[in-house]
Structure 1
């Protein structure tokens, strides 16, 4: 009995299905209005026993929809996903009918819109959201190519979207879109992933131009693995332990992330009654390790980097299943492929001999041969043939039940490390992070990491008073200063009750500044103050052999320092009187 069911509705009996042979049933029904089906809902078909209606031999679902198969198919591609000024991009279009023939009445409307502004070369400029609008008919032969004018792009690097609306004589509209990037630059660096190497180029338009560059490989923690200087163009071997690469040349940079790329490692395994075999495709020459198990027993293992590997050996252990495991390194992490290879005694192989092309209205003959796992012909095969047009884009092969049962391999025991409470701090590696994060272009980090031991910066003041603010830094940290001497006169002491602003007025000209920290005395000689300007100066005491640093008593002032401060400090007592009314 064939039944139709929808969740929350009463089951409908569609009638009996007769067996055309033992174990084989065939039938159909018409989607008529009398079934009172609702659009855009899923329904279940089930084949039940006539005696026991609650038991279903097999069931499946289908969606009931109202749709129209479009007769035409349109394609939109861009010649370049990224291009720079002086290198025009091209839109490639095509319209075809269900038979793959060009449409004679199709036209296209192109609208290019700004998606995101990456970088502007001017402090102020107007960038429209719509860059270009264009209309034209499609060519009747081949593909239609439309060059995007370079003049439509601003003096800025932008991401943009090409929107194409295709129409035919009946005004059937189809929309397609593609994204691209425009770089406002004379040239750009390009990293191209080849099979087993990385191609590094500097391009001006389509021309490869020589240039010196530095290429760095980094791991998943963004730590640098290797760094090398190159003369572009250059081709370097892939490092499978690297998650990506970065290249720098003058003010230009480019990067590639391997986690977004495919390793292209493919594993195929087969089992016959007397042998087990597998083939491995490794075009990137990645290091791999393979393991072959018969049940839970390891029967073969090996490793290598070869681009191709074919393994075959005699199968032992009767009908017990085999398992092939391949582990390989890619993008800085270990990857795994696994194939279960049981002996499928009930698997049939179909050999179909058919013409490659069949034209509408043509009759074609086909030959079909069916063999079993031993390669012998099989008689009385229940063969079903079906066909559908290319209008159904997302169609799939029907799933067939597998009658071969086998015990799967036991799961691999895994251990996980709990890093939830792990933390810590360490000093920043300035030589590594300064360029990688662009910190060397920020004045604040010049202040913390003076290039030649001292940092100076002059700024105008609102009150036109000449003044100075001196600081001491050590390994990128500001060291507290307890006493400041300006020309041997103390102008700041951290232990006073009222601390003045940390900016000290002085006459313009050269001065000597001394800074007392908890254990050092820093002397800055011949510090020049500009008239009506404020000077911010930092002295780096990181180096052990610093010329302007002297050791001092740690944690306290020496008797000499106390006598020098005594003449500039005084203590006072404050009496507070409180009157309470009675």
Structure 2
């Protein structure tokens, strides 16, 4: 859940705003301090699945008044039949087998990812009663009532014992008797989660991935490109940037290099040719590099490449999270091959900005630094 406000500012009433599912609540305060609050809870998400089963078909539809985007997965037993990512759902499928169907729906609401599970069994022992009768009858009128009783498959039920009763408007709160259900309990779907690697995979905890994600396939099927996390790993035009207000009002930048969705660790970061981060010296500090606002040339040295992006704008008092796709050609970005270790020229250049400091007999203290100042070596 986001802790910082998505929006804060003056408004004029009456006000009509589209609901943001990333928000946990809306708080309105007037000049006298009176407040009104609306929390986004599962009760007011109003996202509900409607379903119906006949002896040979299944019908599934989604009520979605807020037009939320959601993932849906439709199972026949334990077999996944349909899935997708949309704002609406209206499905009709053949279902001649009496085995139960299941639906799983995931969506974002109130700043959280929520999951709703549905069972859609075929009610075989529940009888359906259809009455043929006039809509209105006057006192003393004789009418003929006809009832049709069928089972869950639509077949007529012979020798059905029915009790029919009527009441007038004098009974203000009529209550129908509660009848028991003779349907057997529905067994749940077997969970598809697996917490053990298959035999053909080696368990290597030091390696985060053995196979790159097929981005071209899954971005469309699961709507991954709508999530900021995947926009960061797979920048659409080779560069992803997000500004957020920085704590303390310091202008900051956090650059990353990605290769097919995998982050490449930075060995050094340069701003206008000046090193502002050296991993060997600064790896214990937060990866938020203080810098001057304005336009800059940013370079990131990885284990095998030097990636340089020109015209990077640092917004005053904001932190810029930046990801660069080294496989996406851009006129304002260059990618140079480099050896696995710093060259002698790189080491000489870095040493110009490294100040050795002896900490013997000195109290522990942080090395002073500025956005463009030297890097301390203690």
The TM-score bracket by the shorter chain reads 0.3 to 0.5
Q: Which has the higher contact order (CA 8 A, sep 6+)?
A: 2
TM-score for both structures, normalised by structure 1: 0.33
**Comparing both structures, which one devotes a greater share of its residues to strand?**
1
Structure whose CA Rg is larger? 1
TM-score where L is the length of structure 2 = 0.47
